[in-house]
């Protein structure tokens, strides 16, 4: 399957489930002084999550062009060191604006990856927010992954750094649940396809999709510090790296070897006469 076919398959999957297909917004966000570049699919829906804007749909799907080269989500220092980071990439995302919440978000993700794309269940890992002094543990997400079909020992708890997503210092945010994939050659080797590699070193087990359960607006207080204010309605914001899921589907260990990026590398190498 080509990268373009995977993008289309994602858009079609969610359109068939009542989502409005929305174009990628520009890389320079309109009317948002908190962001230099678009860093996630949810940016163009920020005011919808906050309840300040109404659309004529409550479910959306997009493939959003993103730049992560500064600010809260800055991948610049990872580029060239890992096989999976880019400064510019495409984020596949499905969104619910006060429509469905955790149960359907998790069910849709499982159906797309396992039933539609046919990924092997014994290569998938799931992470949930284990809670902290501000927000409690997301036991519901853990139960829902198990209900969807995950083995309990493949659902792992992590803290705020990995499992609480916010767009920037302020704005919509909430606990999140990530899906990680073991890309190696030995899925039956318990020392390789094992929990310590989830959010661990190397690229062999990599995050492919993040499901954010949007429940709060993080606001800056005049006296200093921040406050989490509940959103008007619990919502869903997801982000899956198109280049990452394409690497998985094309069974290559480096995003730059997918058909989305390899031709650009080859073209540049030819022009630079370095081959
Ligand atoms: N907004 C979801 C993500 O960027 O992971």
64-122 residue pLDDT tens: 999 999 888 889 999 999 999 998 999 999 999 999 999 999 999 999 999 999 999 99
The CATH number for 93's domain is 3.30.930.10
Say yes or no to pLDDT of 274 above 90. Answer: no
Position in ligand 1 atom list of the atom nearest CA 212: 2
Q: Which domain holds residue 104?
A: 3-272
Closest-CA residue, ligand 1 atom 2, reads 239
**Cα three-residue angle 26-32-38, rounded to 5 degrees:** 35
Q: Which residue has the higher pLDDT, 8 or 275?
A: 8
Q: How far is the CA of 176 from the centre of ligand 1 (A)?
A: 9
177-196 pLDDT per residue, tens: 999 999 999 999 999 999 99
Q: How confident is the model at residue 246 (pLDDT cuts 50, 70, 90)?
A: very high
- 199-220: average pLDDT: 96
The whole model's pTM is what?
0.95
Those residues with Cβ within 8 angstroms of residue 153's Cβ, 6 or more apart along the chain or in another chain = 195
130-152 pLDDT per residue, tens: 999 999 999 999 999 999 999 99
Q: Can you give the length of the chain in residues?
A: 275
Q: How far is the CA of 40 from the centre of ligand 1 (A)?
A: 6
212 lines ligand 1 (CB under 6 A): yes
105 lines ligand 1 (CB under 6 A): no
Those residues with Cβ within 8 angstroms of residue 192's Cβ, 6 or more apart along the chain or in another chain = 182, 184, 186, 204
Q: From 49, 237, 242, give the residue whose CB has the most ligand 1 atoms within 8 Å, as the site to mutate.
A: 237
As for how many domains the chain has, the answer is: 1
209 lines ligand 1 (CB under 6 A): no
Q: What is the pLDDT of residue 275?
A: 64
Q: How confident is the model at residue 63 (pLDDT cuts 50, 70, 90)?
A: very high
């Amino acid at each position: 399957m080509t990268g373009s076919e995977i993008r289309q398959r994602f858009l079609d999957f969610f359109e068939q489930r009542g989502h409005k297909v929305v174009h990628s917004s520009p890389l320079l966000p309109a009317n948002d002084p908190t962001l230099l570049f678009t860093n996630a699919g949810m940016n163009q829906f920020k005011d919808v999550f906050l309840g300040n804007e109404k659309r004529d749909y409550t479910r959306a799907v997009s493939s959003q062009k993103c730049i992560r080269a500064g600010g809260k989500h800055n991948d610049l220092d990872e580029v060239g060191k890992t096989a999976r980071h880019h400064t510019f990439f495409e984020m596949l995302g499905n969104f619910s604006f006060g429509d469905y919440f955790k149960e359907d978000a998790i069910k849709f993700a499982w159906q797309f990856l396992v039933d539609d794309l046919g990924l092997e269940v014994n290569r998938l890992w799931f992470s949930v927010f284990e809670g902290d002094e501000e927000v409690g543990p997301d036991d519901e997400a853990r139960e829902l992954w198990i209900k969807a079909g995950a083995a309990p020992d493949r659902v792992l708890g992590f803290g705020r750094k990995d499992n609480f997503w916010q767009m920037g210092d302020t704005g919509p945010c909430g606990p999140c649940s990530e899906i990680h994939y073991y890309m190696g050659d030995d899925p039956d080797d318990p020392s390789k396809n094992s929990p310590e590699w989830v959010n661990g070193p190397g690229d062999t087990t990599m995050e492919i999709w993040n499901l954010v359960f949007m429940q709060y607006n993080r606001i800056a207080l005049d006296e200093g510090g921040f406050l989490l204010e509940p959103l008007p309605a619990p919502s869903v914001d997801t982000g899956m790296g198109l280049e990452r899921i394409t690497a998985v589907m094309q069974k290559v260990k480096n995003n730059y070897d997918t058909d989305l990026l390899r031709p650009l590398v080859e073209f540049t190498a030819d022009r630079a006469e370095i081959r």
